[in-house]
Structure 1
Amino acid sequence: MMIRSCSTALIAIFVLVGCGGQEDEGRSAAQEMAGAHEGDTPTATAAAREPAIPVDAREVTYTQVDGADVTGYLAAPSTPDSVLSAHGMDPSADRLPGIVVIHEWWGLNDNIRTATRRLAGKGYRALAVDLYADSVAQTPQQAQSLMQTATSTPERMMANLRGAHDYLRTETGAPRVAVMGWCFGGGLTFRSVADRPTAYDAAVAYYGTPDAMTDEVLQKVTTPILAHFGRQDEVVSTKQVEAFQSRLKGLDKDIQIHQYDAGHAFANPSGESYNPEAASTAWSRTTEFLRSHLYPTE
């Protein structure tokens, strides 16, 4: 078992309901998150970084849920053959690894699109899902309402995320697929791994509530996981992180936990809690973790 603790900064949130009959938990989580984001707005800033290499991005329909098309944002390197060659892979196959990108409680906004392009610039086909049916929040009140609506039908959310994974596997031919999310999406990252314990080749959760990782789930999980938490987070407490660490004891699992001296949403460059130092450290760890599992050298 790999458990690593460090201090700098990065964090955020989310308790995600996993089955029907738990709508009250979803409302409570949304209310806690609203308190953490009081007065916050998802305003774009210069801290949001574009990819290091040219990428192409477009809207795609990646699945259907209850008969309705679901559209997301797909980004990939403009010259995938050169990326594959650089990693010692067959460039003619055009089979880049994929990443399912799960948005924060604000929705699939410009910040998440920028992050998706940035991930693509590291050599992946990154697919940002949309769990809010084309809606994007501009205020904490709107975000709370959208999150409550989404969590009121957890099976629809999971069907959405399964569809994104399957799209990358089948439609783009991704040989390996990771899942990654922040805040609301961080909790759903854990939930996605719990839902399909062996399907993903890597998972990165930024300040997401790890309650889905029960003892029963952890026995089945083969997915390597990297988790970032903030010690001053108002939603995911240090006590919850310690409980998660305790459940890992004695298990031979590739699960890395990093804690930072930061508060909620420290990695979001469009928020009031952005911490550049913590965000940079977490990003470096994230990209190295993804590279090692999506572009293995063996």
Structure 2
Amino acid sequence: MVSEFSLHTSGGDMTAYLFHPESSSGPLPGVVVVHDAIGLSDDTKDICQRVADQGYVVVAPDLFSRGGDSRIGKMRCVRRVFKDLIARRGQAVDDLLAAREFLLQRDDCTGAVGIVGFCMGGGFALVMAPKGFDASAPFYGVVPKGLHEALDGACPVVASFGKRDPLLPRGEKRLVKALEAHGVEYDVKTYPGVGHSFVNKLDYGPATPLLKVTGFHYGAEAADDAWKRVFAFFDKHLSV
């Protein structure tokens, strides 16, 4: 079940979506889902419902919603969000903290909140790991600069990469090194045969065949295994 609402943040209201499992009893752990650079697509919403159906209250803020309907406004908003990701602070970070606070204030949330993100959103899942979340699940997350500093005080992390990802060479090794340096509990895996966006069922239009060759495509077997790992990890760290 999904509903659109206005999320109150330090920068004003923004569009967000709330997902519940079809049937549930009692308060549930919460999860914030962060979309990729394409935006909060129907595919991301399907993923949010998949997470909710595992027994979570899910919030997905649209980080690009402040750009309005114009192309120029959207582009400016995208650039600002990426700037905040690189800086590890700013309005986008505040927006994700507001999404977490929204869950914490709900009677149907237990008070344990995880975060999931894809590509750009995966980068934010790493950036937010030390900021009060209880578990973080970046999928092919953009590894931020100053990774060692960024993960100081991080919550447990379950991360997934694709071996054929042209954007994140050595992503697993860099992340594991930083997590181990801080003593963070982790489950990090790189899947052979798939690349970037392997859990996203996205249609890139005429560019789809070329992008598949270069490592941008859905991989059902790897995606299913990655989600099993994430849900097992969340069951452990988000249970109260």
TM > 0.5: yes
Question: 1-side partners of 2:234 and 2:68: how far apart?
Answer: 28
Question: 2-side partners of 1:291 and 1:281: how far apart?
Answer: 15
Question: 2-side partners of 1:212 and 1:180: how far apart?
Answer: 20
User: Pick from 255, 278, 281: which aligns with 2:222?
Assistant: 278
Whether 1:113 aligns to 2:45 is: yes
Whether the 8 Å CA contact 2:64–2:74 is kept in 1: the answer is: no
Please state whether the residue corresponding to 1:58 is helix, strand or coil.
Answer: strand
Instruction: Give matches, 1:177-188, under 5 Å.
Output: 177-188=113-124
Question: 2-side partners of 1:249 and 1:58: how far apart?
Answer: 39
Residue identity in the other structure for 1:155: G
Moved more, 148-157 or 281-290: 148-157
What's the counterpart of residue 89 of structure 1? none
Residue identity in the other structure for 1:280: D
Structure 1 residues 249 and 283 mapped into 2: Cα distance closer, same or farther (>3 Å)? closer
Question: 2-side partners of 1:231 and 1:143: how far apart?
Answer: 32
What's the counterpart of residue 127 of structure 2? 191
- Segments of 5+ residues of structure 2 without an aligned counterpart are 209-216
Whether 1:59 aligns to 2:16 is: no
Residue identity in the other structure for 2:38: W
User: Pick from 233, 238, 257: which aligns with 2:188?
Assistant: 257
Question: 2-side partners of 1:243 and 1:179: how far apart?
Answer: 20
Tell me which structure has the larger Cα radius of gyration.
1
User: Pick from 113, 122, 128: which aligns with 2:54?
Assistant: 122
What's the counterpart of residue 164 of structure 2? 232
Whether the 8 Å CA contact 2:33–2:60 is kept in 1: the answer is: yes
Q: How many percent identity over aligned positions?
A: 26
Structure 1 residues 242 and 143 mapped into 2: Cα distance closer, same or farther (>3 Å)? farther
How far off is 1:245 after superposition?
2.4
| Count of aligned pairs between the two proteins | 221
**Pairwise CA RMSD:** 2.7
What's the counterpart of residue 40 of structure 1? none
Structure 1 residues 78 and 235 mapped into 2: Cα distance closer, same or farther (>3 Å)? same
Question: 2-side partners of 1:277 and 1:284: how far apart?
Answer: 11
Whether the 8 Å CA contact 2:36–2:120 is kept in 1: the answer is: yes
The structure whose RCO (Cα within 8 Å, separation 6+) is larger is 1
Please state whether the residue corresponding to 1:167 is helix, strand or coil.
Answer: helix
Whether 1:75 aligns to 2:19 is: yes
What's the counterpart of residue 97 of structure 2? 162
Please state whether the residue corresponding to 1:176 is helix, strand or coil.
Answer: strand
Residue identity in the other structure for 1:96: L
> Normalising by structure 2, what TM-score?
0.82
Please state whether the residue corresponding to 1:171 is helix, strand or coil.
Answer: coil
What's the counterpart of residue 13 of structure 1? none
Whether 1:294 aligns to 2:234 is: no
What's the counterpart of residue 204 of structure 1? 137
Whether the 8 Å CA contact 2:117–2:138 is kept in 1: the answer is: yes
Residue identity in the other structure for 2:118: W
